[in-house]
Amino acid sequence: MRRPAFFTALVLAAYSLAASSFAAEPPPNILFAIADDWGPHASAYGTPWVKTPSFDRVAKEGLLFTQAYTPNAKCAPSRACILTGRNSWQLKEAANHICYFPPEFKGWGEALAEKGWNVGYTTKGWGPGVANDANGKPRQMTGKPYNKRRAEAPTPEILNCDYAANFSDFLDAAPAGKPWCFWYGSVEPHRGYEFGSGVAKGGKKLTDIDHVPAYWPDNDVIRNDMLDYAFEVEHFDRHLGRMIADLEKRGLLENTLIIVTADHGMPFPRSKGNANVQANHVPLAMMWKKGILQPGRTLSDFVSFVDLAPTLIEVAGMKWSDTGMAESPGRSLTDLFANKPAHVRDHVLLGKERTDVGRPHDWGYPIRAIVTQDSVFIENFEPTRWPGGNPETGYMDCDAGATKTFILDAHRKNPADPFWQLCFGLRPGTEFYDLKADPDFVHNLPADPRATALKTQLHAELSQQGDPRMSGQGAIFDEYKHAQPGNVGFYEKFMSGKPVKANWINQSDIEPKPVLP
């Protein structure tokens, strides 16, 4: 459903008015630092088993957000939301992982470059997938790549990329007098991990972990896996620290907007590739010495990734109507920069379509959800499908790792094991969790009266945003082609014995015997 013309005009007018207030001053440079698969685990959040001094500094000298969410907890669709300011269900093919990105949707990296900004990135920008323009030419979604520098990695599983040195190369090449935007795209803490590295190389102890979520067993295997994840988060943070130091050395820190976040939650069962508070909740801190008033604030406002594009376009002093970008439901965060909240931010919307292959016909697992301070309502549109991927192809919607392996092995030994059901079992069409009483969301209360009100609100907002699921057209997401031709029809090829590869699962993830729902 399209928004009324007068509403669109009001939105554009608001952006234009806000942009004019920033246009009077030189725009800040932008350092956008995004980790791969990092949940809100940082010492700034009180997590005792992760040490993140660089993230903590950004939070202390800027803003720390405690309720930041991605609309879609998978790499490519999440990054599409960041760049375009649109929810994944508003992005056609780009709602899916490893897609052909629709040429009609422009991102802020491209918009800034068109307006004369120097835009670059290192390692992982948008993706994985194929992003070409209408003429078939590859797009620079996050600018020019800077990937030449290499450094010895702490473990064989950590990429030997010197992210900070690549940033220095970008700054060295930046034209004088021209604003710049750099996307620091780490691939940590994406799996795999060197098992035990958190303890052996990171100096951590299993007892450092203060809480194991109730949907995983609490044992040494899971705690080691969590600490190995933490060790890789700290690798990302060290490079961020070097980048901040480089900005200080060059006298650029004062007028640089630094945004630090991750594309979605940790790569563990019931997290990445799902749609819930664990999967979609992300860290977020911002620092801009010249533009954020009263730094050091911690904000509990609910923030969505669709708010980032309007924010960046505004601080760049640009009018949204001049960018060529499609309309965004997001709202600029600059009112929070000024400590003058202009909006009620009390909920976020989440969703999921095809986040990986491995189901019959390359189908996804469609979900929509709404999260508030006290509760989460989740609607699973195809509850007869396996949420984590089909057992016979290895639960491909969940990356291989020690926690996944342990839960699958425990289920094979005891089919009544509750952790398998929580992480991989079939789910009902409706889920509702009271986050105050049940913060790990393991006790479903579908009959709670609050669920009805949240479902009504969710459907109303999705309908306003033109979500095909609300008009009975949701099957279109299953029809979009996967962008790796060799994996198209993966389930059928695998079941017929044809050779297909999936390097994100282990052979042991594949169930040797049929699994009953």
Please give the structure tokens belonging to residue 80. 């599409």
For range 292-302, the mean pLDDT: 98
Asked if the model's pLDDT at residue 15 lies above 60, the reply is no
For range 190-219, the mean pLDDT: 98
Asked if the model's pLDDT at residue 355 lies above 50, the reply is yes
For range 109-137, the mean pLDDT: 97
Q: What pLDDT, on a 0 to 100 scale, did the predictor assign at position 9?
A: 41
Asked if the model's pLDDT at residue 286 lies above 70, the reply is yes
Average pLDDT score, the chain: 95
Q: What pLDDT, on a 0 to 100 scale, did the predictor assign at position 7?
A: 38
* DSSP β-bridge partners for residue 256: 29
Give CB contacts under 8 A, 24+ apart, made by 88-93: 88/351, 88/352, 88/353, 89/351, 89/353, 89/368, 89/462, 89/465, 89/467, 89/468, 89/469, 90/326, 90/329, 90/465, 90/466, 90/467, 92/476, 92/480, 93/480, 93/481
The secondary structure element, H or E, covering residue 122 is strand 118-123
Q: What pLDDT, on a 0 to 100 scale, did the predictor assign at position 23?
A: 53
Q: What pLDDT, on a 0 to 100 scale, did the predictor assign at position 281?
A: 98
Give this prediction's pTM: 0.95
- Binned at pLDDT 50, 70 and 90, residue 263 comes out as very high
Q: What pLDDT, on a 0 to 100 scale, did the predictor assign at position 346?
A: 98
For range 314-323, the mean pLDDT: 97
Query: pLDDT, tens digit, for every residue of 328-353?
Result: 999 999 999 999 999 999 999 999 99
CA distances to 198, 230, 348, 374 from 201, in Å:
6, 11, 38, 39
For range 342-369, the mean pLDDT: 97
DSSP letter string, 186-223: --TTPSP--TTHHHHTT---GGG-----TTS--SHHHH
Q: What pLDDT, on a 0 to 100 scale, did the predictor assign at position 83?
A: 98
Question: Is the model more confident about 285 or about 15?
Answer: 285
Q: What pLDDT, on a 0 to 100 scale, did the predictor assign at position 21?
A: 52
Q: What pLDDT, on a 0 to 100 scale, did the predictor assign at position 503?
A: 93
- Binned at pLDDT 50, 70 and 90, residue 6 comes out as very low
